[in-house]
Amino acid sequence: MHTRLYNLLFVAVIGLIIASCANRGSPSGGEIDSIPPEIVRSFPANYSTNFKAKEIKIYFNEYIKIKNLSKQLIISPPMDTAPEITPLGSASKYITIKINDTLKPNTTYAFNFGNSIVDNNEENPFTYYRYVLSTGDYIDSLTVKGSIKNAINYESDTFVSVVLYEVNDAYSDSLILKRTPDYITNTLDSTTNFTIENVKAGTYMLRALKDANSDNKFQQKTDKIAFYETSISVPSDSAFYKLNLFAEVLNYKAARPKLVSGEKIIFGFEGDYNDVDIALLTNVPDTYQSRFFKEEGKDTLNYFYNPKLELDSLVFTITNKTIVDTFTVRNRDSSRDTLVVSSFPKNVIKYNEDFSVSATIPFTNFDEQKMTIRDKDSVVVPFKKSFDSLQNKYSFRFDKTEDNKYIVEILPGAITDFFDNKNDTLNYGLRTLSVNKYANIRVNLINAEYPVILQLTNKEGDVKAEAYVAEPKPVDFEFLDANTYYLRAIYDRNKNGIYDTGNYLKGIQPERVSYSDKPIEGRSGWDEIVTFTLLD
């Protein structure tokens, strides 16, 4: 009996093992689903007219989710009160749109879902679904098409809103600062081209926004803007509109100054403050002096004064052309900043680069007799000194040779600052690399309209080399780090030597910028020759 039972158990165990082995190579989940969800029906039906419902339901053939709705969903024209859309964060076989706004009469509305609708399992997107309705008797079906690019950078911005404002008795250019547009689309992250659909016949102003706050209103401090100069008529069979997106220079504004350390006040600004004049109104001794310089990387002026004043406050006027502000700065007993001297570059210096020193307190004197530059053979190298008061920086130009080392020695007392502090001994080590470590690029301009500002940038638009070109001639960029460069030309129409961005309310477009067709590979030890043809 026991033997028979044992045999039965043995056979059963072997059977389970065989079954397990037989199943080991079977797929556990079947084939991966690559088919996007499909719409079964919607109620009311898509492209309904005489729409009066307060709720829309869109049914799918499988469970779906909604992702990144805040970025992907575009409602055109925008609604003052946003609709409630579900599901959010969960799966469902249908989408519900609850309309909380009063819809305009005889208006076509479009809900553009972008790539936000995906299936629940593999997240296959149901791409660019649009639900369209009309509160009138028909669906508006006209379109406005075009492209948009960044006015200065090589790469175009993503998620740019392109909008239309109807031109009527209530229209003004400032509407884009105050209210949402009549029609809107978004480039999302896939293309620089745009199409505004379901537009009714009429006359419009065409605008675009890189809208940081997603409120469909232009805010100068955070947004970029583009505009077509004249009104456009819809329909227009062949029109394709090109827009340049730019960031404005902020309108000038002075921040309230404050004392931050002994006899040091910071004056902060927004916008262009090149014409700013700072005047002290408070009565002070005849020995009173002041100096200021710009804080590196900030829109701030560091203002120093001397001697120390036994006053409760100081009153200043800040004048910029026609704008005058008056500020009171409370005084207090604080210790002064310590003199700290910084140098640039730190180690490797290029053949066409100057050595410079800057400081935390304004310089008042630099005794060049107390400074020497020696090469690796201890030979004294002559130099020329220059001073930039706005940057509080001394620069020293000297001839350099290949694979050399240089020691810069600044003896005690060479530097005197605004508070009569002196430096201790300062020593800096520099070296040059082999010429073959660098790349050289020669640019031949064709069809140029002079003057142009020719620049080499990285992909992000940071300028790595620049030349101002006033006449036809080859342009040489020497001693470049081996890297990929983007070549651009700025058409300096006002001949001021800098790129000028646009201003929307003044109707000023940014200065024209052209890029070469493809990036330039700057290779160590190579001389690249590039022909850059500028189009009319």
Q: What is the pLDDT of residue 85?
A: 94
How many CA atoms are closer than 13 Å to the CA of 178, on its beta-carbon side? 7
Residues 183 and 164: beta-carbon distance below 8 Å = yes
Residue 12 has pLDDT above 90, yes or no: no
Q: What is the pLDDT of residue 536?
A: 60
Per residue in 198-252, pLDDT tens?
999 999 999 999 999 888 899 999 999 999 999 999 998 778 999 999 999 999 9
- Kindly state the tokens that stand for 520: 């330039």
- Kindly state the tokens that stand for 37: 């969800």
Q: Do domains 39-134 and 341-433 have the same CATH topology?
A: yes
Residue with tokens 């009138």: 136
Domain ranges, ordered by start, for the chain: 39-134, 142-245, 266-330, 341-433, 437-533
The whole-number average pLDDT for the span 375-394 is 97
Query: What does DSSP say about strands 527-533 and 439-446: parallel, antiparallel, or unpaired?
Result: parallel
Task: Indicate the DSSP class of residue 422.
Answer: B
SS3 109: strand
CATH topology of domain 341-433: Immunoglobulin-like (2.60.40)
- Dihedral sign for Cα 369, 372, 378, 379, please: negative
The whole-number average pLDDT for the span 142-147 is 94
SS3 382: coil
- Kindly state the tokens that stand for 430: 């520099």
Q: Which neighbouring-strand residues pair with 303?
A: 265, 292
List, in order, residues 6 or more apart from 258 with CB less than 8 Å away. Answer: 265, 266, 329, 330
- Dihedral sign for Cα 55, 60, 62, 63, please: negative
Residue 89 has pLDDT above 90, yes or no: no
Distance, CA of 291 to CA of 239 (rounded, Å): 57
CATH topology of domain 142-245: Immunoglobulin-like (2.60.40)
Q: Quick one: what percent of the chain has pLDDT higher than 70?
A: 93
How far, in Å, are 52, 99, 131, 133 from residue 45 at the CA level? 12, 15, 9, 9
Q: What is the pLDDT of residue 273?
A: 85
Distance, CA of 128 to CA of 113 (rounded, Å): 6
Closest CA to 362 of 392, 321, 390: 392
Distance, CA of 338 to CA of 335 (rounded, Å): 9
Domain 39-134 class in CATH: mainly beta
Q: What is the pLDDT of residue 30?
A: 56
Vertex 303: Cα angle to 299 and 307 (nearest 5): 175
Q: What is the pLDDT of residue 231?
A: 95
Average pLDDT for the chain: 91
Residue 427 has pLDDT above 90, yes or no: yes
Per residue in 145-181, pLDDT tens?
999 999 999 999 998 999 999 999 999 999 999 998 9
Vertex 384: Cα angle to 381 and 387 (nearest 5): 140
CATH architecture of the domain covering 437-533: Sandwich (2.60)
Residue at 339: amino acid letter: L
Q: Which neighbouring-strand residues pair with 163?
A: 184, 207
- Is residue 359 very low, low, confident or very high in pLDDT (cuts 50, 70, 90)? very high
Residues 309 and 262: beta-carbon distance below 8 Å = no
The secondary structure element, H or E, covering residue 70 is helix 69-72
Residue at 286: amino acid letter: D
The secondary structure element, H or E, covering residue 111 is strand 108-112
The whole-number average pLDDT for the span 428-447 is 96
| 12-21, 332-341, 399-408: segment of lowest average pLDDT | 12-21
List, in order, residues 6 or more apart from 182 with CB less than 8 Å away. Answer: 77, 163, 164, 165, 166, 204
Q: pLDDT higher for 5 or 142?
A: 142
Per residue in 324-341, pLDDT tens?
999 999 999 999 999 999
Q: What is the pLDDT of residue 189?
A: 72
Residues 361 and 418: beta-carbon distance below 8 Å = yes
User: In 10 A of CB 36, how many CB atoms?
Assistant: 18
List, in order, residues 6 or more apart from 65 with CB less than 8 Å away. Answer: 87, 89, 90, 91, 117, 118, 119, 120, 123
How far, in Å, are 4, 245, 247, 269, 270 from residue 255 at the CA level? 98, 28, 21, 5, 8
Q: What is the pLDDT of residue 397?
A: 98
Distance of CA 201 to the CA centre of its chain: 36
Provide the strand spans (E) within 128-214: 130-134, 142-150, 161-166, 183-186, 193-199, 202-210
- Dihedral sign for Cα 149, 153, 159, 161, please: negative
H helices of 188-253, in order, are none
- Kindly state the tokens that stand for 423: 């430096």
Q: What is the pLDDT of residue 19?
A: 45
- Kindly state the tokens that stand for 475: 């342009």
- Kindly state the tokens that stand for 285: 């001794």
Residue with tokens 């040091």: 264
Q: What is the pLDDT of residue 25?
A: 39
H helices of 348-483, in order, are none
Q: What is the pLDDT of residue 27?
A: 45
Query: What does DSSP say about strands 202-210 and 224-227: parallel, antiparallel, or unpaired?
Result: antiparallel
